[in-house]
Amino acid sequence: MKLKENVLIFSDLDGTALASNHKFSEETKEIVRKVYKKNYYFIPVTARCTMDTFEQQSIYLELDKLKGIASANNGTHIYDFKENKWIRQEYISQETLKEVFDITFGKVGKYKAHFIGDDTYFVYGHGENSRYWSDIMGTEYKVVQNFKDIDKKINHITIILEKNPSDKSIEEFYKDFSSILNALDIIKYTDRVYELAIKDIHKGSVVKEVLNYLGLNESNTTTIGFGDNFNDFELATKVDIFVAMENGLQKLKNIATFTTKTNDENGVANFIEKNIL
């Protein structure tokens, strides 16, 4: 594979660079060290929250020592460990948050909402999935009774519809949230799960942001992305080469440049070692 002078590798974490036990293998950590030794970048781009991404996952990969870059919340936060500074740090406005809260709160059986902050999950009631991810990331888990209980800045919001929503329910969902489309994008995960993200901020937007920040461009830099799930589609469209995981969505594999082994077979590390280093 012919590469340009500079190489930026953007990788999702869960289901991609992380094994199913949510840990980095020793092989992956060694490959990341080799990437930086070659003066390339390995840049995690994850939906995980700010605290977990920068204070835990990035430290496990030694990005603080390697002077690397990482991105959290599907792109709202990007941090440069070399300069110890934020490249991007964005939050949803209080006005928009209030609007989403008013649309969803008290709609038992119709909408669940998870408001995700730097170190806290705000929910309307205890849920198995939200609690699972909160525990995985080590965040605070807070059940709210009113809007004032959401007392921290919010990066992105997950909306969960009723089980097996009908076409009418999905149509009503888009209609209910039409008023916030100037501020937020609706990203579909499944027919039931949607993310509300700050307008034009997603994993793909991280690519341009980092290129500009480093003073690089398409003429002198090869960008490569790894991913497995719905929120990796935007990344796939913004990099020169996209590599889908064998355990990933078939639709994502269909548009990928290459497919690599599963996340439990060190697929990311294996591809980097054979094709990039």
- The whole-number mean pLDDT for each consecutive block of 10 residues of the chain, a chain of 277 residues, reads 95 98 97 98 97 98 98 98 98 97 92 96 92 95 97 96 92 95 93 94 97 96 97 97 98 97 98 97
CA torsion angle 267 234 191 123 (round to 10): 90
Are the C-beta atoms of 156 and 183 separated by less than 8 Å? no
pLDDT of residue 24: 98
Whether the pTM exceeds 0.75: the reply is yes
Buried b (16+ CB within 10 A) or exposed e, 19-53: beeeebbeebbebbebbbeeebbbbbbbbbbbbbb
Are the C-beta atoms of 40 and 9 separated by less than 8 Å? yes
Task: Calculate helix-pair angle for 267-275, 26-37, nearest 10 degrees.
Answer: 30
- Report how far residue 172's alpha carbon sits from residue 162's, in angstroms, rounded to the nearest whole number: 12
Q: Taking the CA of residue 130 as centre, how many other CA atoms within 13 Å lie in the half-sphere pointing to its CB?
A: 22
- Report how far residue 231's alpha carbon sits from residue 100's, in angstroms, rounded to the nearest whole number: 21
pLDDT of residue 189: 87
What is the strand order of the sheet 6-11 is part of? 41-44, 6-11, 221-227, 241-245, 258-260
pLDDT of residue 1: 84
pLDDT of residue 16: 98
pLDDT of residue 72: 98
Number of C-beta neighbours around residue 6 at 10 A: 17
Q: Which residues contact 50 (CB under 8 A, 6 or more apart)?
A: 72, 73, 77, 117, 118, 119, 155
- CA dihedral (20, 188, 203, 228) positive or negative: positive
Are the C-beta atoms of 260 and 277 separated by less than 8 Å? no
Are the C-beta atoms of 191 and 167 separated by less than 8 Å? no
Please name the helix (run of DSSP H) or strand (run of DSSP E) that holds residue 185, with its range, or none: strand 184-188
Sorted by where each starts, the structural domains of the chain and their CATH numbers stand as: 6-89+201-276 (3.40.50.1000), 94-198 (3.30.1240.10)
pLDDT of residue 109: 86
pLDDT of residue 139: 96
Are the C-beta atoms of 196 and 159 separated by less than 8 Å? yes
Number of C-beta neighbours around residue 145 at 10 A: 8
